[in-house]
A = this chain, B = another copy of it.
């Protein structure tokens, strides 16, 4: 970018992508390569992925082969596992070996965890014996653990070194490490005793001893810690990297913040899916999973909800004589079930989210209840008054029906808000994921007691 003006009149990424596709189509590979090489790795990965969708895998392979080897590894690690598989199946063994050698260790583990077993075997064949051993150790950490996120490529300094020694060492090995901005000091038993930031190294005198510089209020995670807990720690402390220790408290790797954004995204997706009863542990994206996989993750909860809806049916069946005498009661049933369910799920969702981000704790249950009771009462009063006017003046129904519907609505909304606030806390208390207490479950529960409250009130008011 020698010509400054050019920078700011340059075409958007979408335009460059289109141009590359056109050049490929016209078989102008040298020009296509030129355009491609000017892009950042993340953008190149997007071009290759789109090329596969739009002009076929063969074209994507041609693009991939245009990259120099270090960039190829970087781009490869940013592709989806479906794209990675497609490429691995088509490139030579020598090319596979080159990619493995150039890839960051944690990216390689990420890739291997997602790829099909035959592809993993193909890759492992190309690794040296030591590499294979290390890879297998990392692959054995549970999918959702800190161990599966970490990399062993960190900078390790000696306590007795000076800043000058440390900088000389970093100069030598720094390029191959995941990060050099946080460095770690271990004792002879490989246990972590201090942390030194590169910032303190470059702002201090050459002769300062590392021992004097290092921070010893160390925050660390265990290899088997859940990755959701790890991302909470990153959010709380704002660190760029977090050390990971084994059960003997020996330093085994580090997790860097750039991997955490992806974890947060996946964990949030999982939470949101659970909140509508999609139970899917695979981390697969929408289009990456098969139809049957989707059916399996959606069906169980729907069946459960169907069973609970049957109870609501039982309640109605129980009051069939009431309904037969005053059929128009049925007209207001959807309204009561709807506002009840929605009121409840507003409360439960806010509490589920509060629990997830750590704002609400179990001990807050009484406060939540008292808040939801008041909010519920005000909301219910507003809605019931609107509804009362509508039933009397617009629908011109008898006052008895209006009072039944609005009285029931008042009770239902207040109870729904309170239940919505408390159930996620109760779930957490007994070790169930609070996210399961979201809209579908709360709505089903509310439906049942809405019917019960409504018809009970009707029997009283109409003396049936």
- A-side interface residues toward B, CB under 8 Å? 1, 4, 7-8, 38-40, 42, 167, 170-171, 174-175, 180-181, 187, 189, 191, 193-194, 198-199, 202-203, 216-219, 231, 234-240, 249, 257-258, 260-262, 264-265, 268-269, 272-273, 275-278, 285-287, 291-292, 294-295, 298-299, 301-303, 305-306, 308-310, 312-314, 316-317, 320, 323-324, 327-328, 330-335, 337-339, 341-343, 345-346, 349-351, 353-354, 357, 359-360, 364, 367, 371, 374-375, 378-379, 382-383, 386-387, 390, 438-440, 443-444, 447, 451
Closest 10 CB pairs of A and B: A1-B216, A312-B334, A309-B338, A309-B335, A238-B258, A276-B349, A286-B354, A313-B331, A174-B203, A439-B439
A328 to chain B: which residues have CB within 8 Å? 317, 320
What are 14 residue pairs bridging A and B, where the CB atoms are less than 8 Å apart in the complex?
A: A1-B194, A4-B187, A174-B203, A264-B264, A276-B342, A294-B375, A298-B375, A299-B382, A302-B342, A303-B386, A305-B338, A309-B335, A334-B451, A443-B443
A39 to chain B: which residues have CB within 8 Å? 217
A234 to chain B: which residues have CB within 8 Å? 261
Task: Given A261-B264, A351-B286, answer yes or no on A306-B202 (Cβ-Cβ < 8 Å).
Answer: no
Cα of A214 to Cα of B454 in the assembled complex, Å? 72
A390 to chain B: which residues have CB within 8 Å? 310
User: Are A338 and B443 in touch, CB under 8 angstroms?
Assistant: yes
A439 to chain B: which residues have CB within 8 Å? 276, 345, 439-440
A277 to chain B: which residues have CB within 8 Å? 342, 346
Chain A interface, DSSP helix/strand/loop, else mixed: helix
